[in-house]
Amino acid sequence: MSAEIKETSATVRTLEITIPQGDLKVPFEKKLSQYKKQVALKGFRQGQVPKSMILKQFGPSIRHEAVDEVVNSIVQEELKKANIIPVGKMLVKDFNDDEKSDITLKVEVEVDPEIDIKGYADTGITVPATAVHEEEVQAEFDRLMQMWSKDEHVDREAKKGDVVVGDYIEVVIDGEKQELPENKEFRSLLGESASPGFDEGLMGSKAGDKKEINFKYPDDHKDERYRGKTAQFNVEIKDVREIVPPTLDEEFCKQIGVKDEADLRNNLAESLAAQKKDAAKNKAINEAIDKLIEANPFEVPKARIYDLIKWTLNRNAQSEKDVVEPTEEQINELSGEAIREIKKHRILEFVATQEKIKPTQALVDERLQQMANAYHVEFENLKNHFRQSGRINQLRDELRFQMAADFIVGIRPAAEETK
């Protein structure tokens, strides 16, 4: 037996294998012995079938299995000796076996290419300072007030900010009468609808009114079926309801977990500040990754791309039967994003390895505490769950990659402490 490994490309290694026919004798006899013990043919009990009959009926299959076993053994041994970790399935090519001359074949395996990322320690990209403005806090405050508000019936004409409740009687779009939904009721918050013309037609209406509303859908309407089309709605108004914001009294503040309005606004400001900071950092990290990808080109194995696309398509699959294989169209559409994600992962792995980045136990506990607070569970219970399920290692990996991402945009304290 002989085997030679050739570097076909940065991501492909080809094993050229030659197997003398004599090397099949032992594995063939072993397989034949297994068949003899297991096979039962008409007129013979299991294990009592003559060898000649087994060879006549199963000889080609036995030989095929023996060849497969020898090839797999050679491939695994040669890859191990060369310290090659294959990615995906191996591909057998140019297989020749006339059962007389030496068996020859080629086996292709994909591998992750070695990389040496230059410039990661000084990408020139840092996280810019962010600030939260009072009007942003006020907008978030108003949004929450609206979310916690209730609507109450009012005996007056509808105005902006009211909720108008009614039934569709007839709907005509671009001259074509539309089939009405089974539930004909609508609720429209005047001034917030995706169709301003419809809202304007409801202004001044009262319960019991029947109205014909004519308008044109905006060219940028969220439903492209209606963009720029004319509409005629005949409706009957059933109710006009006024939005009543909550009273920020002691009971309400206790209900939402704050001391008073000032405490609520402070919480909103802190939350907005954290969101802005995270957004700025993520933007900087992505810019740094794109810069490093451009400055350090390397190939990605096709098997990696395929596997990531398949995982993306099936990450919400409920069972094995729901798993689908990517189509050629999906592969073409998603390959660019998959390649970037794989390159990002490899670059961050390289940085973490080079800089010996490892999250401390204090950092792991800090993240667990944040999760415990978010899910309203006891810290120790959550920590024990992560340990018992093995998810603690996944969390450590996530933190390690986050620290590597921080490193390339100049955030070093956490990373430096681990050295």
Report the pLDDT value the prediction gives residue 413, as an integer from 0 to 100.
59
Report the pLDDT value the prediction gives residue 318, as an integer from 0 to 100.
87
Beta carbons of 175 and 214 less than 8 angstroms apart: no
| Span 22-36, pLDDT tens digits | 999 999 999 888 888
Report the pLDDT value the prediction gives residue 399, as an integer from 0 to 100.
96
- Give 171: exposed, middle or buried? Use CB within 10 Å, 0-12, 13-18, 19+: middle
Percent pLDDT > 90 in the chain is 79
Mean pLDDT of 177-189: 93
Report the pLDDT value the prediction gives residue 416, as an integer from 0 to 100.
46
Q: Which CATH architecture has domain 260-417?
A: Orthogonal Bundle (1.10)
**CA nearest neighbour of 360 among 304, 314, 416, 289:** 416
User: Which CATH number applies to 2-111: 3.30.465.10, 3.30.70.1050, 3.40.50.11900, 3.20.20.70?
Assistant: 3.30.70.1050
Confidence category of residue 414, pLDDT binned at 50, 70, 90 = very low
Tokens 């003398």 sit on residue:
20
Checking if the pLDDT of 255 tops 70, the result is: yes
| Span 269-328, pLDDT tens digits | 999 999 999 999 999 999 999 999 999 999 999 999 999 999 999 998 888 889 999 999
| Span 188-224, pLDDT tens digits | 999 988 889 999 999 999 999 999 999 999 999 888 8
Q: What is the pTM of this model?
A: 0.76
Report the pLDDT value the prediction gives residue 349, as an integer from 0 to 100.
97
> Where along the chain do its domains lie?
2-111, 150-244, 260-417
Task: Give the 3-state DSSP-derived string for the chain, with helices as H, strands as E and coil as C.
Answer: CEEEEEEEECCEEEEEEEECHHHHHHHHHHHHHHHHHHCCCCCCCCCCCCHHHHHHHHHHHHHHHHHHHHHHHHHHHHHHHCCCCEEEEEEEEEEECCCCCCEEEEEEEEECCCCCCCCHHHCCCCCCCCCCCHHHHHHHHHHHHHHCCEEEECCCCCCCCCEEEEEEEEEEECCEECCCCCCCEEEEECCCCCCHHHHHHHCCCCCCCEEEEEEECCCCCCCCCCCCCEEEEEEEEEEEEEEECCCCCHHHHHHHCCCCHHHHHHHHHHHHHHHHHHHHHHHHHHHHHHHHHHHCCCCCCHHHHHHHHHHHHHCCCCCHHHCCCCCHHHHHHHHHHHHHHHHHHHHHHHHHHHCCCCCCHHHHHHHHHHHHHHHCCCHHHHHHHHHHHCHHHHHHHHHHHHHHHHHCCCCCHHHHHCC
Name the token pair of 172.
């005509």
Q: What is the CATH number of domain 150-244?
A: 3.10.50.30
| Span 325-359, pLDDT tens digits | 999 999 999 999 999 999 999 999 999 999 999 99
Mean pLDDT of 57-67: 90
Checking if the pLDDT of 371 tops 70, the result is: yes
**CA nearest neighbour of 41 among 25, 57, 63, 17:** 57
